[in-house]
Chains A and B, each alone.
Chain A
Amino acid sequence: MEALKTTQTSDPNVPPPLSVPPRRSRAQALFAPELVRPALREAFVMLRPDVQWRNPVMFVVEAGAALTFLFIIQAALGMSSSQLSTGYFIALDAWLWATVLFANFATALAEARGRAQAESLRAARQDTPAWRLKGQDIVEQVLSSDLRRGDRVVVEAGQIIPGDGEIIEGIASVDESAITGESAPVIREAGGDRSGVTGGTRVLSDRIVVKITAATGESFLDRMIALVEGAVRQRTPNEIALSLVLSAFTLIFLIVVVPLWPMALNAEVYMQSYLGIAEPLKSLGTDVPTLVALLVCLIPTTIGALLAAIGIAGMDRALQANIIAKSGKAVETAGDVDTVLLDKTGTITMGNRHATEFAPIGNHTALELGRLAAMASIADDTPEGKTIVKLYYDRGGKPGDLTIPKGTEFIPFSAQTRMSGIDLPDGTVIRKGAPDAVLKFVKTQPGSAPVELQKTIDSIASQGATPLLVAEGRTIAGVVVLSDILKAGISERLERLRKMGVRSVMITGDNPLTAATIAKKAGVDDFVAECTPESKLAYIRREQAEGKLVAMVGDGTNDAPALAQADVGLAMNSGTQAAKEAGNMVDLDSNPTKLLEVVEIGKQLLMTRGALTTFSIANDVAKYFAIVPALFAGTLPWLNAMNIMHLHSPTSAILSAVIFNAIIIPLLIPIALRGVQYRPLGADALLRRNLLVWGVGGVLLPFFGIKLIDMMMVAGRMVA
């Protein structure tokens, strides 16, 4: 009777349930020392002008800092005509350099995090021995790094798969925990949609032949690692547009600041003659380092410093969710997605149907029907059969009632008969199967269908469930209701999608009636029933023609065209190589619901950029109120009425603004790296909220920040 006990081991074919929170096993602490130290070093290396040149905003800061340094030298040589103290210049210059260093640090830290993330994945792919097939049966041992695309390798139980590839022969259970962090082994087999294997994973049982599809160095992981590394990092379209705007703002503020010098001169000349004094009257308005400081405060350094880090962090978040994006653009596009296509099976519903009810007919009780159905399913190893036995126990059935006498004959399911069952030695014949097949069988016994049968079957079908007829000899005992079980939490996730403004579409091979019912139960916005790969592709094209961006999940070779057509194609790592090549992201966990997470990661990335840009520009208002009265204190002292923060002195005002401008960068690194939290509130509410926090907050915060720094400098007697 051992076989009849319901086992607790999870079915390797069923993806992990939804309730499991997304793993963040490899997520590091934000300022982990092992990341901060190299990042600090890198921050200095990145002072190289050719590196800064890539970021015009910070390049201007660096140029300004260098220029100010020349003024310090001039003052040190005693050649300065300025009445300002050298200490002021030194302090100013130190903070300008600090601004550049903070920016470099932010980028370096993001890169370090991304690299560490990737390294932990790469660790799985150290050089391993590989057994390459030469000719038909000759095996030679080579190193995994010597493998070329198209090589066939043999991997046996206990060995590590040497490279990404596709199983061409055999079936094996594979431990993919090195990549996914999921300890339960998965089944990979040749020929199906689960033929893809990843280098670095371990075969636990059996023997497979793998055809290598990506030479070392070209695999997805390598591409992903390149994406988070600065040198080869390609900027996404939106990031390029934003850096353009930031450069333009830099230019605009150059236009604002440069004419201030002659304008200040105008005031100096006039006031000197008005006061009738001999020596020239000087204000900070004609002091070049001070104007540099004003320029640096005004140009969007905050976002300029964090822009690269935000982009890298977005990729990093994808990587933390075990998604390998083939380009940064794919992550960004995910935020814009209007429609997601979700496969019913595996995404919206559990992988297989479950028996959920026994509907007896005639004199049979539910338990009796259950017993018959369970008897017929004892030898049935399909997931459906197992759930029937399980339901029988759940409904109070005793294992003793399922005793199978010797000589019992098992009739397995076949595509021809479309039913299965057992023939007991006492002549009892039990069958379960598709209604028409079982009916046909009953008529041969000979028996007949009870009148209420059709009604029962129809009502089950109309609920989106599948009826399974059970017959004992010539009598029909009743119907087992097989239902699609929605994955736990799927309705909430779909609701969340709807609130984000993303339309969900269920793709299924079911008939329209069943599909409609499940669609309604799950809460998807639309469904495509009796779907073929062609109709899926057509649906995507239709949506795109309406200007929408479409995301989909796929694993099979016949999904490849649709994956390629979709704007975001998330391929399952367990899927075929064709699917992985066609999509622009690969989920290492092979969890189709990941698509929803991908959308959120994309949205978070865009939102973080927008929020910090808004914040950066809104900050400037307060800086003006600090700097403008200070600039002209020497000539137009009545402008002190604009000094609403009551800053101590002109030089302390300017230093406070510059210091605030610098330290806001490291203070915002956590937000840049973690991202601004996305909430599915609907665009208008979200915009209102973010405008309040980052726009209005961005205007107000520096007033307090600059005042605080000024007070601290006065308290520390650091300013005259």
Chain B
Amino acid sequence: MTQYWFLPAALIVAAIAVSIPLSQYAAWIMEGQYRPLPVFGWIEEKLDSGPQDWKQYTAALLIFNLLLFVWGYVVLALQPIMPLNPRGLGMLAPTTIFNSVASFMTNTNLQHYSGDVHFSNFSQIFFTIANQYISAAVGFCALAAIIRAFRGEKKVGNFFVDMWRVLIYMFVPAAILSGVLFIQQGMPMTFQSTVQVNTVEPGAMGTDDKGEAKQQTLVVGPVAAVIPIKQIGTNGGGFFGANSAHPYENPSAWTNFITCLDMMIFPFTLVLMFGRMLRKMRHSIVIYGVMLTLMVGMIAWAIHYELEPNPGLTAHPTSVTYKIPSATAKGGFREIQVPSVGGLPVDQHLGNLEGKELRFGTVAGPTFAALTTAITCGAVDCAHDSLNPLTGLSPMVGMWLNCVFGGKGVGMINLLLFLIIGVFIAGQMVGRSPEYLGRKVGAREVKLAVIALLVHPLMILGPTGLFAATDWGTRAEFNPAAHGFSEITYEFTSASANNGSGFEGLGDTWGFNANPNPAPESRPWDIAAGLVMMFSRYLPIVAPIAMAAFLGMKKEAPYGLGTMRDDTMTFYFLLLGTIVILGALLFLPVAALGPLADHLGPMPFGG
């Protein structure tokens, strides 16, 4: 049994161990206490447009993202005429470009295309890599601004300087270190686009006219430049369509471990950085504990259910009868018969191996799935669509809550929303009007928190309902019934959580604009998911910054016996309870219609 739990346990221990010193370093950098190297110092000086208040900071952030949108659109639209395109790849469908640009700008990296098929190396470098560094830093900067606002500072920093600090002093060094390790493990790093190889089994790719065995064409490129920041920046947009299940994107067990660790380190670190910068270490440890509890729970849940056999392959040898109420039927009930099904002769003692990268085994897939969704990374190393129905619940819950470490910065920000609402409601039970960080939480703050919190369910449930009831959904899903519903739900969940992982099992790829046979409903999916990503990105960043600014403007009262402590076990349970109950209230019905119905019903994976 220990073999199953070693990987997740080692990952969590390693992430905790790294996050403690790294948080000190991150706080040191974000406080600007370092002495920059001469050239860097000069650039930093040029970037520094002076201290900004929260409105200026937010404006800078939004304008910067707008420019990022334009940049992304131009790069992708011009792919056919840009260099580094020896394969002569054409232009993607406009809706796909819109979706991809929205996706990478918002740190989502939902991919309605396949990186190795549709992107030239130019697009990979100037679109994928550029966005992965920059969009990842945006959330980080937003958190830094929120922390400074919480401290009561009128000027919450300078967006451009913050961006520079995050990129140069944190992401780049970490990415270089990971990249070197990846290259050593065999990850490609080249400007070449393809290589021709002889297959191990001659003729595996067929024979040409002369009867000679065809060579296989393998796509390569600057993979080792994409993958580190893909993980460290919790982006998740793979170089290859198969993402981290691809042998070039994840060559060995070691890279799998580092890949997982890379996505964990900054989200773990930022919680502690929050505490260090606010001088409230114990408070941030309580938050850290809540997140860790939920994360361990989700990983354990995923692994537990994935070690069960795949219900789609097992038999239920007798037919089952269900009674359903029906006014027209005799006796008020209609009976439905689900016929017996013979199992397939598959050895399932290792659990559900369907859709797994066999090099990594049964456990690595659900571990990765739970991590990549709790943290809004979205890289995958197994097919989430093929996870057992209840296992698939774990990644969905991770994205529904979206604050179990979450993305860099934004995860912590999302947690603050739950926290403010929990403090506002339950905090009054100490007999004082609610306070956070010694400041009274009033109507304005709580309004902003609720607005930010409300976007997420609206953007998931609204479109899911719309697509589930129309051809847009039913014609796109690969599996019918509850599993198909999960596919639709997952896609919008991933988009709204800015996660980017795909359950898949959806026809949502148009491909090149010239594609004669695109997936029929891919256009609505491109547009809807693109809009969801943008709404769910910016409102939950801007509203919390404003909330923190308004809260910070209030007088800070000292802690006393009568004030609620935010660094105790009681607060731990308060926060945990708030997240679990609110999360359940928002998403229990879709969980029932999707994964639970899939699991409980007689037709797993749609029968």
Q: Are B324 and A687 closer than 8 Å at their CB atoms?
A: no
A346 interface residue (CB < 8 Å to B) = no
* 3 A-B pairs with the lowest CB-CB distances in the bound complex, closest first: A501-B562, A610-B428, A259-B465
Give the contact stretch, choosing among B116-124, B131-139, B168-176, B592-600. B592-600
Mark each residue of chain B from 582 to 597: 1 if its CB lies under 8 Å from any CB of chain A, else 0: 0011101110110011
Q: Which residues on B sit within 8 Å (CB–CB) of A298? A: 585
Give A332 to B577 CA distance when docked, in angstroms.
Answer: 27
Q: Which of B458, B558, B593 contacts A632 (CB 8 A)?
A: B593
Per the 8 Å Cβ criterion, residues 531-587 of B in contact with A are 555-558, 560-565, 568, 570-571, 573-574, 577, 581, 584-586
Residue on B nearest A623 in the bound complex, by CB: B585
Q: Are B560 and A245 closer than 8 Å at their CB atoms?
A: no
Q: Are B464 and A259 closer than 8 Å at their CB atoms?
A: yes
Q: Are B325 and A650 closer than 8 Å at their CB atoms?
A: yes
Per the 8 Å Cβ criterion, residues 434-467 of B in contact with A are 434, 438, 440-443, 446-447, 450-451, 453-454, 457-458, 461-462, 464-466
Give A502 to B433 CA distance when docked, in angstroms.
Answer: 14
Q: Are B447 and A248 closer than 8 Å at their CB atoms?
A: yes
List, sorted by A's number, 27 A–B pairs whose CB atoms are closer than 8 Å. A240-B443, A241-B446, A244-B443, A252-B450, A252-B453, A262-B470, A263-B589, A269-B474, A270-B481, A282-B326, A335-B433, A336-B433, A336-B440, A338-B558, A617-B425, A620-B581, A631-B589, A634-B324, A682-B562, A683-B430, A683-B431, A683-B564, A687-B427, A687-B571, A694-B429, A699-B581, A720-B332
Per the 8 Å Cβ criterion, residues 235-275 of A in contact with B are 237-238, 240-242, 244-245, 248, 251-253, 255-256, 258-267, 269-271, 274-275
B482 interface residue (CB < 8 Å to A) = yes
Per the 8 Å Cβ criterion, residues 298-330 of B in contact with A are 322-328
A69 interface residue (CB < 8 Å to B) = no
Q: Which of A270, A503, A621 contacts B584 (CB 8 A)?
A: A621
A45 to chain B, nearest CB (A): 29
Q: Are A256 and B589 closer than 8 Å at their CB atoms?
A: yes
B150 interface residue (CB < 8 Å to A) = no
Mark each residue of chain A from 661 to 693: 1 if its CB lies under 8 Å from any CB of chain B, else 0: 000000000000000001000111011101100
Q: Which of A245, A260, A611 contacts B589 (CB 8 A)?
A: A260
Q: Which of A244, A607, A642, A699 contacts B446 (CB 8 A)?
A: A244
Chain B interfacial residues counted at CB < 8 A: 81
A256-B457, A259-B462, A621-B584 known; A335 vs B556 contact (CB < 8 Å)? no
Residue on A nearest B488 in the bound complex, by CB: A266
Q: Which residues on B sit within 8 Å (CB–CB) of A304? A: none
Q: Which residues on B sit within 8 Å (CB–CB) of A650? A: 325
Q: Are A260 and B562 closer than 8 Å at their CB atoms?
A: no
Q: Which of A265, A271, A607, A636 contacts B430 (CB 8 A)?
A: A607
Q: Are B564 and A266 closer than 8 Å at their CB atoms?
A: no
A245-B450, A335-B433 known; A258 vs B577 contact (CB < 8 Å)? no
A84 interface residue (CB < 8 Å to B) = yes
Q: Are A83 and B326 closer than 8 Å at their CB atoms?
A: yes
Q: Are A547 and B557 closer than 8 Å at their CB atoms?
A: yes
Q: Which of B425, B461, B469, B565 contacts A266 (CB 8 A)?
A: B469
Give A83 to B334 CA distance when docked, in angstroms.
Answer: 13
Q: Are A614 and B601 closer than 8 Å at their CB atoms?
A: no
B485 interface residue (CB < 8 Å to A) = yes
B200 interface residue (CB < 8 Å to A) = no
A500-B561, A635-B324 known; A642 vs B428 contact (CB < 8 Å)? no
A279 interface residue (CB < 8 Å to B) = yes
Q: Which residues on A sit within 8 Å (CB–CB) of B568? A: 684
Per the 8 Å Cβ criterion, residues 292-350 of A in contact with B are 298, 332, 335-336, 338
A498 interface residue (CB < 8 Å to B) = yes
Q: Are A263 and B325 closer than 8 Å at their CB atoms?
A: no
Residue on A nearest B463 in the bound complex, by CB: A259
A87 to chain B, nearest CB (A): 13
Residue on B nearest A699 in the bound complex, by CB: B581
Q: Which of B450, B560, B586, B597 contacts A501 (CB 8 A)?
A: B560
Give A633 to B324 CA distance when docked, in angstroms.
Answer: 6
Q: Are A241 and B585 closer than 8 Å at their CB atoms?
A: no
Give A590 to B83 CA distance when docked, in angstroms.
Answer: 88
Q: Which of B424, B562, B585 contacts A256 (CB 8 A)?
A: B585
- Would you call the interface of chain B mostly helix, strand, loop, or mixed? helix
Q: Are A241 and B431 closer than 8 Å at their CB atoms?
A: no
Q: Which residues on A sit within 8 Å (CB–CB) of B584? A: 621, 624
Chain A interfacial residues counted at CB < 8 A: 91
Mark each residue of chain B from 392 to 434: 1 if its CB lies under 8 Å from any CB of chain A, else 0: 0000000000000000000000000000010011111111111
A548 interface residue (CB < 8 Å to B) = yes
Q: Which residues on A sit within 8 Å (CB–CB) of B593? A: 263-264, 267, 632, 636
Give A546 to B559 CA distance when docked, in angstroms.
Answer: 11
Q: Which of B466, B570, B590, B602 contacts A688 (CB 8 A)?
A: B570
What number of residue pairs across chains A and B have CB atoms under 8 A from each other?
249
Give A451 to B561 CA distance when docked, in angstroms.
Answer: 50
Q: Which residues on A sit within 8 Å (CB–CB) of B431? A: 335, 500, 602-604, 606-607, 678, 683, 686
Q: Which of B322, B555, B561 contacts A547 (CB 8 A)?
A: B555
Q: Are B558 and A547 closer than 8 Å at their CB atoms?
A: yes
Q: Which residues on B sit within 8 Å (CB–CB) of A253? A: 585
Q: Which residues on A sit within 8 Å (CB–CB) of B425? A: 245, 610, 613-614, 617
Residue on B nearest A241 in the bound complex, by CB: B443
Q: Are A687 and B465 closer than 8 Å at their CB atoms?
A: no
B202 to chain A, nearest CB (A): 47
Q: Are A263 and B433 closer than 8 Å at their CB atoms?
A: no
A247 to chain B, nearest CB (A): 9
Give A268 to B468 CA distance when docked, in angstroms.
Answer: 11
Residue on B nearest A635 in the bound complex, by CB: B324
Q: Can you name 8 extra interface pairs (CB under 8 A) apart from A263-B590, A501-B560, A699-B581?
A: A238-B428, A256-B461, A266-B485, A501-B562, A624-B584, A632-B592, A649-B325, A683-B562
Residue on A nearest B573 in the bound complex, by CB: A691
Q: Which residues on B sit within 8 Å (CB–CB) of A686? A: 429-431
B197 interface residue (CB < 8 Å to A) = no
Per the 8 Å Cβ criterion, residues 584-624 of A in contact with B are 602-604, 606-607, 609-611, 613-614, 617-618, 620-621, 624
B533 to chain A, nearest CB (A): 18
Q: Are B468 and A266 closer than 8 Å at their CB atoms?
A: yes
Q: Are A274 and B562 closer than 8 Å at their CB atoms?
A: no
Q: Which residues on B sit within 8 Å (CB–CB) of A150? A: none
B336 interface residue (CB < 8 Å to A) = yes
Q: Which residues on B sit within 8 Å (CB–CB) of A715? A: none
Q: Which residues on B sit within 8 Å (CB–CB) of A27? A: none
Q: Are B461 and A687 closer than 8 Å at their CB atoms?
A: no
B507 interface residue (CB < 8 Å to A) = no
Q: Are A628 and B585 closer than 8 Å at their CB atoms?
A: no
A245-B446, A274-B481, A606-B433 known; A263 vs B465 contact (CB < 8 Å)? yes
Mark each residue of chain A from 484 to 502: 1 if its CB lies under 8 Å from any CB of chain B, else 0: 0000000000000011111
Q: Are A498 and B564 closer than 8 Å at their CB atoms?
A: no
A274-B607, A610-B429 known; A251 vs B454 contact (CB < 8 Å)? yes
B551 to chain A, nearest CB (A): 13
A641 interface residue (CB < 8 Å to B) = yes
Q: Are A279 and B328 closer than 8 Å at their CB atoms?
A: yes
Residue on B nearest A608 in the bound complex, by CB: B428
Residue on B nearest A637 in the bound complex, by CB: B322
Give A262 to B492 CA distance when docked, in angstroms.
Answer: 15
Residue on B nearest A339 in the bound complex, by CB: B560
Q: Are A691 and B577 closer than 8 Å at their CB atoms?
A: yes
B188 interface residue (CB < 8 Å to A) = no
Q: Which residues on A sit within 8 Å (CB–CB) of B469? A: 261-263, 265-266
Q: Which residues on A sit within 8 Å (CB–CB) of B325? A: 633-634, 649-650
Q: Are A636 and B447 closer than 8 Å at their CB atoms?
A: no
Give A624 to B596 CA distance when docked, in angstroms.
Answer: 14
Q: Are A241 and B574 closer than 8 Å at their CB atoms?
A: no
A630 to chain B, nearest CB (A): 10
Q: Are A611 and B429 closer than 8 Å at their CB atoms?
A: yes
Give A718 to B573 CA distance when docked, in angstroms.
Answer: 41
Q: Are B588 and A610 closer than 8 Å at their CB atoms?
A: no
Q: Are B585 and A621 closer than 8 Å at their CB atoms?
A: yes
